[in-house]
Copies of this chain bind each other. A is one copy, B any other.
Amino acid sequence: MKTIFIMVKCDLGKAYDVAAEAVENVEHVSEVYSISGKYDLMMKCYLSDEQDIGHFVNEQIQTLPGIKDTFTMITFKAFN
């Protein structure tokens, strides 16, 4: 299992539609936060070890209506 974070900039006024859509309909999206700063949302996703992260971001996230830009951060290890 691997954890990734995707910061998302949305069309003006569309962030909450994007968030609801992602959490409801996109498998592997576990939590979506609306956040401070220049991005609107941060999505936390769990992918299985064989899954291709780039394919997931490209096909499942970037194609959601209302998204303008994405920035992907990969985590390597969780300390908890």
Contact = CB atoms under 8 A, between A and B. Distances in A.
Q: Which of the listed residues A34, A37, A78 has the most CB atoms from chain B within 10 Å of its own CB?
A: A34
A63 B10 CA distance: 12
A20 B59 CA distance: 14
Task: Report the contact-size class of chain A (Cβ under 8 Å from the partner).
Answer: 35 or more
Interface in A34-80: 34-38, 40, 42, 49, 52-55, 57-59, 62-63, 67-68, 70-80
A27 interface: no
Nearest to A23: B79
Q: Which of the listed residues A14, A20, A79 has the most CB atoms from chain B within 10 Å of its own CB?
A: A79
A40 B72 CA distance: 9
A61 to B, nearest CB: 9
